[in-house]
Amino acid sequence: MTHKLKKPSFDFYSFLAVVLVILLVPFFIFAIVFDRTFFIFISVGLAIIVLYLFFLHWRMGEKGAEISLQLQNLEERRNLMGAEILKEKRVIESFREKIVRYRELKGLTERLNLCLSLHDTSTTISQEVNTLFGRNDRTIILYLFHSKTGELGISASHKGEMRVNIKSKKGDVFDQWVARTMQPLLVEDARTDYRFDIDRVVAEEPRLLRSVMAIPLVVGRKALGILRIDSPHEKDFMTEDLRFLTIIADLGAVAIENAQLYEHVEQLAIKDSLTGLYLRRHLLERLLLETSHQLRGKGQLSFLMLDLDRFKQYNDRFGHVAGDIVLRTIGKLLISFFQRQGDLVCRYGGEEFSVLLLDCLKTKALELAEGIRQKIAEETIVLRREKTHITVSIGVAAVPVDAVNPRELIHKADAALYQAKERGRNQVCAA
């Protein structure tokens, strides 16, 4: 509420003083012309006027002090109102920033919902954090715990618009602190933070690090990884930034868990639970794709069909549990032997296995088939404290030498396999 200043009421007193002076003038003239004793009355009048002027001066001083006090009060009110307005502006600006950030979170959630694979999810999280927090000198790193070893590993990293190569692949002292405590970390200046040895930090990571934010990715009681941002400048992050990054990390953790579950379910759909090899359905899909690709090009694609010799007798002698052990052992041998990029090892069904060799000539496929046959024959399998051996027969066919479509290719390899069986087993035959 605004208070108006009271206008000083000096007009009446000033008018009265002027009137008194004007009235004294005729008396002064009368005293000079007619009677000098009249100066006594003039003196008394002047004294009264002087006293009145002193009174008037005192009253004006009081009014001036009152006005000064009112001005001070108004200035204080103005300052208070200015502070309130500034506070309101800051609150409004804070709300505006929150609205913008929540809108950004909504966009992040929508983009994460579109991701199915773990790679796409990790890349999206890293890119979005880089958009929300990134500057050209800030580095964003997403670590994930390995499902089997439990070790940290880099899943995605960005610096500006580029991917960055991080020397400490398993995390530095900051990441290890977060992994150990499972608490958010905010380091304003790594040189003065007593929790960390700056010399060790420099030795582990040659990049200049001064400010660090790191959040553990946790769903329930399951730790998934760490989301981190670091900067070469001190005090580059605030507590509000840490809160916002925590919200992003919570959303990211749920998305990562969903992606991991999706990939696990997908693997269950295309992989054999006993041997860990791909199933026939996945093989047929790949064959259809790869044969058409090879026919358009000038290369060759080779296909191996393997069958365990006398496996039924093996099962009858040692039992089905022992048979499962043999199948797992053969699966591991096949995976360890065929490690070229593009090689696909499958369990075709029962005791039959198949291997798809991309960009592989038939002659080379025959050499590889002979190599794996010998390796399996030499492998010792201990069952019920008894050392046993098993052999395989292998049929080899190739595209476009023997076939031009997946069905024909499988048929030719299967026919070569039965030829190897008829010739006495434990050998390789070509279509």
Average pLDDT over every residue of 328-345: 91
- pTM (2 d.p.): 0.57
SS (H, E, C) 198-245: HHHHHHHCCCCCCEEEEEEEEECCEEEEEEEEEECCCCCCCHHHHHHH
DSSP 270-315: HB-TTT-PBPHHHHHHHHHHHHHHHHHSS--EEEEEEEETTHHHHH
Can the peptide bond before residue 26 be classed as cis, meaning omega within 30 degrees of 0? no
Which pLDDT does position 8 carry in this prediction?
A: 47
Indicate the average pLDDT of the chain.
Answer: 84
Closest listed residue to residue 230, CA positions, set 252, 255, 242, 213: 213
232 and 208 in contact (C-beta within 8 Å)?
A: yes
Q: Tell me the residue ranges of DSSP E strands in 52-164.
A: 139-145, 152-159
Which one of 12-21, 134-143, 184-193, 293-302 scores highest in mean pLDDT? 184-193
pLDDT score at 393: 95
pLDDT band for position 1 (cuts 50, 70, 90): very low
75-117 residue pLDDT tens = 888 888 888 888 888 777 776 776 767 777 777 888 888 888 8
Of the listed ranges 26-40, 51-65, 250-264, 312-326, the least confidently predicted one is 26-40
Report long-range pairs for 161-166 (Cβ below 8 Å, ≥24 apart). Answer: 161/130, 164/139, 166/139, 166/141, 166/205
SS3 for 361-411, per residue?
Answer: CHHHHHHHHHHHHHHHHHCCEEECCEEECCCEEEEEEEECCCCCCHHHHHH
- Whether the per-residue pLDDT at 369 is higher than 70: the answer is yes
Per mean pLDDT, which of 114-128, 282-296, 357-371 is the most reliable?
357-371
How does residue 226 score in pLDDT terms, banded at 50, 70 and 90? very high
Q: Residue 2 pLDDT more than 50?
A: no
Comparing 256-260, 267-271, 374-378, the range with the smallest average pLDDT is 267-271
Please check whether residue 393 is in contact with residue 309, taking contact to mean a CB–CB distance below 8 angstroms. yes
- Among 16-25, 180-189, 355-364, 395-404, whose mean pLDDT is lowest? 16-25
Residue 356 has pLDDT above 90, yes or no: yes
Domain ranges of the chain: 15-53, 118-270, 280-430
CA 368 – CA 380 distance, rounded (Å):
20
- CATH number corresponding to 118-270: 3.30.450.40
Arithmetic mean of pLDDT, 329-340: 92
User: Which residue out of 351, 370, 379, 386 is catalytically annotated?
Assistant: 351
Greater pLDDT, 314 or 42? 314
- And the tokens for 391? 């052999």
Give 388 or 22, the one with higher predicted confidence: 388
pLDDT above 90 covers a percentage of the chain that reads 26
Chain length of the chain = 431
Identify the CATH number of the domain defined by range 280-430.
3.30.70.270
Q: Which of 23-27, 170-174, 217-221, 342-346 has the lowest mean pLDDT?
A: 23-27
266 is catalytic: no
- Residue identified by tokens 């027969």 is 393
323 vs 306: CA distance, rounded Å: 16
In this structure, the strands spanning 428-430 and 392-399 are parallel
